Structure 1
Amino acid sequence: MAVKVVTDTTADLPPAIMKELGIIAIPLYVRFGEQVYKDGIDITQDDFYKRLPVDPVHPNTSQPSPQDFLDVYEKLADNKDGIISIHISKKLSGTWESANQAKQMMEGRVAIEVIDSLSVSMGLGLLAIQAGRMAQQGAGLEEIKNEIEKAVSQIHLMGIFDTLKYLAAGGRIGRGKALLGSVLNVKPLLEIKDGEFAPVGQVRSREKSIERLVEWVKGFNNVVALSVVHTTTPDEAEVLAGRLDGVFPKDKIIISRLGAALGTHAGPGTLWVAVQSSG
């Protein structure tokens, strides 16, 4: 049996890729008042994004419990090759901590490595894909762990937020707080740095912000993986992928959509790019 790869739904992995590589994504929880949904299971992306801007109750999110991880790990416990569990930055969520607690409960039953991606969305997703491909090729747990830990520093994510109000409402703004007061009427650009969102600039038009994303990607050498992620603008994501074709082949660019857990904090109109660069 191959090493099993576990991640969480903030990886925003397309279902076809998860199926192909046998990746398991443990859902976070999204709450509208008393109504609780498992991300990607109990609420569809379309239903969530229709509800988000009009519901008088702003949703909040919570990490999976240690028991949620334990349930999955126990099902995989017969796999003697082990489990690699890669998750959203622990500066943004308690998901890593829940996974680590479950790992301790499984001690002596199956080898588990829990890795902090220091990223989110397809920044995390690209790491899970790399791990999944290595597992399919027969790599062992220690080899996969070592390569993924090296790859963490190769992952970069930058994005356009149509507004910071959703990020602020969810308390996930991190160092972006410095921008909050001044960017409510412009298009903020944020980047994941050291595992949290940090401001990298602001522009006054959507087109200029997309141009900034294109130029940012062009600044990387040896791009080995690339993803464009959106919340509500699939056509825009396709166009952006086309503009990046000179940097990385368009047919290999993964276009994905933020699920409800991240969409709660990102909001409609969000557009991100995740890059893995070996240079």
Structure 2
Amino acid sequence: MPVRIVTDSTADLSPQLAQKLGITVVPVYVRFGHDSYRDGIDISREEFYKRLVTSQVHPTTSQPTPADFTEVYRKLAKETDKIVSIHVSGKLSGTCNSALQGKEMLNAKCDIDVIDSESVTMGLGLITLAAARLAASGSNLQKVTNEAKQAISETHLLGLFDTLKYLLLGGRIGRAKALLGGILNVKPILTLRDGELHPVGNVRTRVKGIERLSDFVKNALGIQELAVVHTTTPDEASTLKDRFSSLVDSSRLHLAQLGPALGVHSGPGLLAVVLRKKSTGKDESTSGRKIHVPSLHLPKVNLPHR
């Protein structure tokens, strides 16, 4: 029986792509006050961002419950006895813990590997796609799991925030920093490092920020898959994606919309690039060209836990 792949909606995979590769996506929850919605099922991304800017209540998100995962695993266990479940960084969310608890609650003979991607949005998405393609080729559980873990070390992200407003509303930065950022029109740039989001710099204009994203990609060697992610600017993201058309095959170049889990902190206007480097077959810590970003002593950003 083929290995089946599970991820969560923070991967920002399109329904079409997930269906094509047989990926089961477990939705996170979005809450506006007392109203709760399943990401991508009860509320669309477009509706979420519309409500984000108009609602008097700032939304929160929470991971799927263990019971949600048990239900998914039970359904899949009717058609397979091997599952690889890949999820958003455990340092950003409790989703992996929910998946592990869901696995323990399952009363069925099924081997389930739960993997912490140490990533989010299309970083998680690219890792999941790598595993799904290998699973579709008929590879066994160990090979699919190893492929996912290898992809983790090869995946890198850089994101441009358009405003500090939503980081303030989410309690991730102080009011003075947000006010100063607004006065100076500062736009922060963040990356993922060891499973956590870290600010790595600021730019004064959006144009300069987009150039930083473009340079980040063009200075990387051996890209095998690439994604451009946006919250509310699809045309701008599409234009940036077109810049990279000569760097990677069109089937490995993606455009995605950021989901609520990080969108509650980024707000409208976020633009990010995520890339997966080609494997060198060696430990990347000691060989190959590394992708470097500056390190600043600034507060880390965490996704809300249930």
Q: TM-score, normalised by structure 1?
A: 0.93
CA RMSD after TM alignment: 2.0
**Counterparts in 2 of 1:133 and 1:207: CA distance versus 1, 3 Å:** same
Q: Is 1:45 the equivalent of 2:45?
A: yes
Residues 99-150 of structure 1: CA distance to partner in whole angstroms, max 9, x if unpaired? 0111222376210000011100000000111111111100111111111112
Superposition deviation, residue 169 in structure 1: 3.2
CA distance in 2, matches of 1:20, 1:187: 37
Asked if the contact 1:241–1:250 (Cα under 8 Å) also holds between the matched residues in 2, the reply is: no
Contact 2:227 2:256 in 1 (8 A): yes
Q: State the Cα distance separating 1:263 from its structure 2 match.
A: 1.7
Amino acid across the alignment from 1:143: K
Deviations 1:64-98 (A, max 9, x none): 11000001011111344400000000111100110
2:26 corresponds to which residue?
Answer: 26
Which residue matches 2:130? 130
Stretch deviating more after TM superposition (190-199 or 250-259) = 250-259
Point out where structure 2 has 5 or more consecutive residues left out of the alignment.
279-287, 289-306
**Unmatched 5+ residue regions in structure 1?**
none
Is 1:262 matched with 2:272?
Answer: no
Query: Bigger CA drift: 159-168 or 35-44?
Result: 159-168
- Specify whether residues 157 and 54 from structure 1 end up closer, same or farther in structure 2 by C-alpha distance, changes over 3 A only: same
Which SS does the other structure have where 2:248 is aligned?
A: coil
Residues 198-242 of structure 1, C-alpha deviations (whole Å, 9 max, x = no match): 111111111100000011111211101000011100000111011
Q: CA deviation at 1:181?
A: 7.2
CA distance in structure 2 between the aligned counterparts of 1:114 and 1:182, rounded to whole angstroms: 42
Q: Paired residue for 1:229?
A: 229
Partner of 2:215: 215
Match of 1:103 in 2: 103
Q: Which moved more, 1:248-257 or 1:201-210?
A: 248-257
Any idea what SS the aligned residue of 1:202 has? strand
**Does the CA contact (< 8 Å) of 2:88 and 2:120 recur in 1?**
yes
Aligned residues between the structures = 276
Question: For 1:182 and 1:150, how far apart are their aligned partners in 2?
Answer: 41
Q: Distance in 1 between matches of 2:27 and 2:193?
A: 24
Are 2:25 and 1:15 equivalent residues in the alignment?
A: no
Measured after TM superposition, the shift of residue 168 of structure 1 is 4.2
Instruction: Trace 1:13-92 onto structure 2 (pairs within 5 A).
Output: 13-92=13-92
Q: Distance in 2 between matches of 1:172 and 1:132?
A: 34
